[in-house]
Amino acid sequence: MQKSHIIIGSYNHLPEGTEESAFEETYQTCWRPFLSVLYRFPDVAAMLHYSGTTLRWLESRHPEFLMLLEEMGLRKQIELLGGGFFAPLMPLVPASDRLGQVELLTTYIRKAFGKRPRGCWLQDYAWEPGFASSLQACGFDFTFLPERHFVLAGMTGAGLGAPVMTEDQGRSLAVFPAFDAAESFPRPLPPAEAIESLRSRLGDLPLLTVIYPGNATRFLWEASGLESPDVFFERSFAAIQREGLSYETTTPSRYLKGLRHFGRAYFTGSASAHLMEGSAVAHAPASGSPRGILLRHEDSLALYAKMHYVRILVSQLRGDKSRKKTAQEELWRGQCGDAYWTGAAGGIGRLPVRAAAYAALIEAEKTTRQRGSFTPGLITTDIDFDGEKEILYQGSDFNAYVHLRGGCLAELDSFRTRTNYVNVMDGNDPRRTAFRDRVCEAGSFGPDSGSFSAAHYAYSDADKSSQLVTLAREGWANLAGRRRGLSLRKTYAFRKGGLSVQYELENKEPESLRLRFAVELNLAAGFEPAAIALNGLRAREALSLDPASACEAEGLSGLRLENLRQEERLELRADELFQLSHQPVFAEVGGCPCVPGGRRYQGCELLLGLDLELPADSSRRFGFTLELAGSPKQR
């Protein structure tokens, strides 16, 4: 009887922004044990993928790991796969960036290991039909899609036992059916057990491809009860070696060389089961495009919009190849797929991961600005594809995006620290923003009873030469059990180092009104409360507040929010004394053994309350100023 072939694979990646300790723990419990033990079993072949982020970390921290990869590649025990350098979700990035990221990783692998990869790994199996031609144009012969993709394409049973050819615009690509430990089994199984489980379910197929997320192999070790991951992998590879009479391990390229006949198939847009569940519209099945993840969280769409806007700026850069290359790599770094959805270990739900993506995009944008030719100013453009233009201030030291929905500040980018301070997420819509307007009962930070916080404002006036823009909204508030008419105008004024927001609130009723007007600011100045200093300013006194707990303060004239590590602070001052309510924002974030989940800090919610009495048919003016300032020792 002819032997079956087995491809054992592992894909390994941690996103930009992941803590150094998580990288090291993953290395010691997952990456190192797998490879070092596999080295001692030269008859067991494997297919491996490492993202560019992972390879660079390994090169700087554990160069001996790369030396082992090189030796195992030379003896043809392993095959390395290419892909996007920063593990982008391919459907979310333009074709030119897909090509650039793929070539960046291909070049790295070729220089480090002496051989260009023939196969491509797709992060989270994110696939669209046009990828067959684009991947083939990148020099790839094959890729992998999970069992579920093949079932959706009408293949079951024997159809899952060999690669098929798929085609786009006359260019063909081999696609291997992959049985992923994260979704093809009720629970992840050790390699030998996974192979036997598949053979009992599917029979003796000519080929089985069993793939593991490398970061999660610690699950298998812990479940085994063995004393170390090295012992676990020793037993696993020994069990595979003992089955040498039934099957033999191989690599994808080696298997393709001996294959003469291929089936054909076309695959619809899809991705991993976890991603497709995240991209499904609420109460609808997990189907459709992987891009659906952008509709689950406004924060995903905001980052996606920022990425495409920066891409346009980078594409327009002319005359300086070195600057353009630097800007492009930062753009690609900002396309790390984990930052755009919850991912296997929390992804966008982790503030450091979101912040790393924004930092790269901000640096790319900064790189496009040539000294002497850039002039700060205001532009209007539909940056988030909703059919309505937003207001963008592009300064020499910071950016600010104003959205008409809520008339709020949706992004505040510091070029000094590469930080988007309006980057607070709690998993609920609408997106948390700054200078969002609430109306409450007098003396209370109770429920918002006004119609302004989520309403669409209208342009009232704009003076681009003076960098001023005025928004207006006719609305109401439920006060003392009755709906009262109110009108609100707010003027944003931008200048070097900061901005101001001037309000004019008008009582439209024939009677006096008492209310509390509250300005909501959601700000992320650090990854944990311990890295933040929050001070209220009362006369000449600085009142220290605890950023880790809810608190209130009265009679303040300003606030200071400081990132203790980045030597930058936000200073806010008001025209008149206000009451403060501070609430730290935490959100439940998923995780894996090396990157634990749980409640993770996201930033802070600040409410600045002004108790106002408005006579009939009268208005009241007040304002706030926000500045980005260096630390005292910087200045």
**pLDDT value of position 319:** 84
Q: What is the pLDDT of residue 280?
A: 54
Its pTM stands at 0.96
Tell which residue, 597, 248, 273, 561, has the closest CA to residue 421: 561
pLDDT, tens digit (0-9, with 9 covering 90-100), for 205-221: 999 999 999 988 889 99
Distance CA 506, CA 619 (A): 4
Q: For residues 4 and 490, what is the distance between their CA atoms, to the nearest angstrom? A: 71
What pLDDT does 631 receive?
57
- The pLDDT tens digits for 93-147 are 999 999 999 999 999 999 999 999 999 999 999 999 999 999 999 999 999 999 9
User: Burial, 186: exposed, middle or buried (Cβ in 10 Å; 0-12, 13-18, 19+)?
Assistant: exposed
The type of residue at 110 is: R
pLDDT 10s digits, 151-160: 999 998 888 9
From CA 219, how far away is CA 511, in angstroms rounded? 67
Please say whether the beta carbons of 51 and 89 come within 8 A: no
Distance separating alpha carbons of residues 581 and 588, to the nearest angstrom = 23
Q: Could you tell me the two tokens for 155?
A: 């293949």
What is residue 284's predicted lDDT score, i.e. its pLDDT? 37
* Pairing label, strands 78-83, 46-50: parallel
Residue 251: pLDDT band with limits 50, 70, 90: very high
pLDDT at 194: 96
Task: Look at strands 142-146 and 532-538 and give their pairing.
Answer: unpaired
Per-residue pLDDT, averaged over 611-624, amounts to: 96
Which residues are CB-contacts of 372 (< 8 A; sequence separation ≥ 6)? none
Q: Which residues contact 375 (CB under 8 A, 6 or more apart)?
A: none
pLDDT of residue 464: 80
User: Poorest-confidence range of 14-23, 99-108, 373-382, 517-526?
Assistant: 373-382
Q: Give residue for tokens 């459709």.
A: 288
Residue 505, exposed/middle/buried by CB under 10 A (0-12, 13-18, 19+)?
buried
Coil, helix or strand at residue 142: strand
Contact between 78 and 46 under an 8 Å Cβ cutoff? The reply is yes
What local confidence, expressed as pLDDT, does residue 429 receive? Answer: 66
Condensed to tens digits (0 to 9), the pLDDT of residues 540-584 reads 789 999 999 999 999 999 999 999 888 899 999 999 999 999 999
What Cα–Cα distance (Å) separates residue 186 from each residue in 47, 177, 189, 197, 202? 23, 18, 9, 11, 16
Instruction: Look at residue 396 in the predicted model and tell me its pLDDT.
Output: 92
What distance in Å separates the CA atoms of residue 625 and residue 345, rounded to the nearest whole number? 38
- 499-538 pLDDT, tens per residue? 999 999 999 999 999 999 999 999 999 999 999 999 999 9
Give the pLDDT band of residue 279 (cuts 50, 70, 90). Answer: low
Q: Which whole-number Å values give the CA distances from 45 to 77, 309, 350, in the listed order?
A: 5, 44, 36
3-state helix, strand, coil in the chain (%, to 5): 30, 35, 35
| Residue-level length of the chain | 635
Nearest to 33 by CA among 237, 239, 179: 237
Per the DSSP assignment, residues forming a β-bridge with 538 are 541
Q: What is the 3-state secondary structure (H, E, C) of 560-606?
A: EEEECCCCEEEEEEEEEEEEEEEEEEEEEECCECCECCEEEEEEEEE
pLDDT-derived band at 190, boundaries 50, 70, 90: very high
Domains and CATH numbers, the chain: 4-279 (3.20.110.20), 296-630 (2.70.98.10)
